[in-house]
Structure 1
Amino acid sequence: MTHTDTNPSTTTPDVGTPPVGPRKVVLVTGASSGIGEGIARRLSAQGHHVVLAARRTDRLDAVVDELRRAGHSAQAHALDVTDRDAFERVVASVVDERGRIDVLVANAGVMLLSRLDALLVDQWDQMLDVNVRGLLHGIAATLPRFTSLGSGHVITIASVGAHEVVPTSAVYSATKYAAWALTEGLRQESAPGIRVTTISPGVVESELAQHITDPHAAEAMTAYRAASIPADAIARAVAFAIDQPADVDVNEIVVRPTRQR
């Protein structure tokens, strides 16, 4: 299982052709590293204005400074996605500054694997808070703006853990299935003009597994993560979904290493 807030390439990718349609204002959560940073780098290099949000402001500021020196449009906002009021303030600030918000990439997530009988209840709560409530807070903050605008795009970075359960992944997989279900429900309920996408990464190069404290789960991850792909592989999927014409909604993408079965 894998997901976000990890170590990406520190170089801006070669993005090739510019995006389809006008530049968009994109908010990426969990953007201080890993998949989130990779997404921010690719989208800003493609010409979008990217708002990088995360708790680690020193890292955010460094990335934004690098992107701006490369001529890209980016800004940083401190954000703990578990704080609903803080999420609303960040979105309101972006709309005040830029006049609109077009895309939410709900990427912030934690993966604290353990067997249920290890009873790491605080870690269960943390995953529920970040992976589920954090997504709901993002939807609550952006959906009214999208509805008012008549357009918008919610992209949830879920996990292959939304589609499979293995020993030690019960709670993590439950949170990622919840993220998948919430996003699918949003897709079905949204007004015309609002697009909704779920992207489920497999094993991505990251520091994520280093946060696992359960020894059995940490050992199991060593073999599981033997084959991995770079964060930019997920960023390319995000860019693909965003760059489609307005009448095309890419609903779901699963991206994993060729060797991951």
Structure 2
Amino acid sequence: MLTSGFAHLFKKKWSLIMSLSSLPPDRKVVLITGASSGIGEATARHLAFQNHQVVLGARRTDRVEAIARDIEAAGGRALARTLDVTSLDSMRAFVEAACQAFGGIDVLINNAGVMPLSFVEDLCIEEWNRMIDVNLRGVLHGIAAVLPLMREQRSGHIINVASVSAHRVDPTAAIYCATKFAVRALSEGLRQESKELRVTVVSPGLTRTELFDGISAQEARLAAQSMVEQASIPPSAVAKAIGFAISQPEDVDVNEVIVRPTRQQ
């Protein structure tokens, strides 16, 4: 019979072994844009919990720094940097900071996005340009910043967060859908050109994030908020899908994942 002291030590050691066995075999360096809230924040926290090293980028520096501190306090590895995805120089500086801190890059998650919905006839041209700059040009800047490094190391994983709006078009969302259709097309083209890189498109459905707060058109904002209240998923559901794609063996490329509420049409 085990003595109480030995039994306690055995249980503690077994708990540690089980905890370590649940960690992924490869700790990766993962860059996440738009990491100050929503899907980006949830993904950073989820991947850090899975023992990956995460680099958080967003315009709201105070917010990503607070999230990084939370991760570090919980025993994870995280770095926060100010990032404007519409600037190629800013994106390159973000990538350089990650390389200096962690010695390289394994995964880039192009997550930053905006969604100021409105009818086309409203001619909200500044909002159109903003969506093009963030949702599409921002993804291109991310790819341009990491692709040379990934080509040189002959490995890497680029994950582009699109939307179910990359598969369907709805009133007030024509421009937003256009940017997300473009991200999906860009991702497929990059995938076909890449024999050593993995490329994944993750398309979330209605998700409870701050994305809807940026809708200036009152009618469109109220309609979107109503849909979210009726059927939506938490950002953590999308984060888990991203984690699944990253966790696959290097010779397995999860090309596309659609994650939507069961009740969403």
Q: TM-score, normalised by structure 2?
A: 0.90
Aligned pairs for 1:83-94 (under 5 A) are 83-94=87-98
How many Å separate the matches in 1 of 2:99 and 2:246? Answer: 19
SS at match of 2:201: strand
Q: Does structure 2 retain, via aligned residues, the 8 Å contact 1:18–1:47?
A: no
Higher fraction of helix: 2
1:58 correspondence with 2:76: no
> Which of 229, 250, 255 does residue 254 from structure 2 map onto?
250
> Which of 189, 193, 196 does residue 196 from structure 2 map onto?
193
Q: Does structure 2 retain, via aligned residues, the 8 Å contact 1:56–1:78?
A: yes
Relative distance call for 1:80 and 1:17 in structure 2 (3 A) is farther
SS at match of 1:50: strand
Number of residue equivalences: 246
Which letter maps to 2:86?
A: T
2:134 matched residue in structure 1: 130
2:212 matched residue in structure 1: 209
Which letter maps to 1:67?
A: I
* Structure 2 portions without partners, runs of 5+: 1-18
CA deviation vs aligned residue, 1:58-95 (integer Å, no higher than 9, x gap): 11111111110100000101000000011011112211
1:220 matched residue in structure 2: 223
* TM-superposed deviation, 1:224: 2.2
Q: TM-score, normalised by structure 1?
A: 0.91
RMSD: 1.4
1:116 matched residue in structure 2: 120
Show structure 1 runs of 4+ deviating over 2 A.
15-21
> Which of 93, 96, 106 does residue 100 from structure 2 map onto?
96
SS at match of 1:39: helix
> Which of 176, 180, 186 does residue 184 from structure 2 map onto?
180
Relative distance call for 1:58 and 1:200 in structure 2 (3 A) is same
* TM-superposed deviation, 1:104: 0.2
2:4 matched residue in structure 1: none
CA deviation vs aligned residue, 1:144-189 (integer Å, no higher than 9, x gap): 1110011000000100000011110000000000111111111011
User: Higher Cα Rg: structure 1 or 2?
Assistant: 2
2:264 matched residue in structure 1: 260
CA deviation vs aligned residue, 1:103-153 (integer Å, no higher than 9, x gap): 000000001100001111000000000000000000000011110011000
Aligned pairs for 1:24-43 (under 5 A) are 24-43=28-47
1:167 matched residue in structure 2: 171
1:12 matched residue in structure 2: none
1:235 correspondence with 2:239: yes
How many Å separate the matches in 2 of 1:183 and 1:177? Answer: 10
Relative distance call for 1:157 and 1:17 in structure 2 (3 A) is farther
How many Å separate the matches in 2 of 1:211 and 1:156? Answer: 21
Relative distance call for 1:209 and 1:16 in structure 2 (3 A) is farther
* TM-superposed deviation, 1:218: 1.3
How many Å separate the matches in 1 of 2:154 and 2:74? Answer: 33
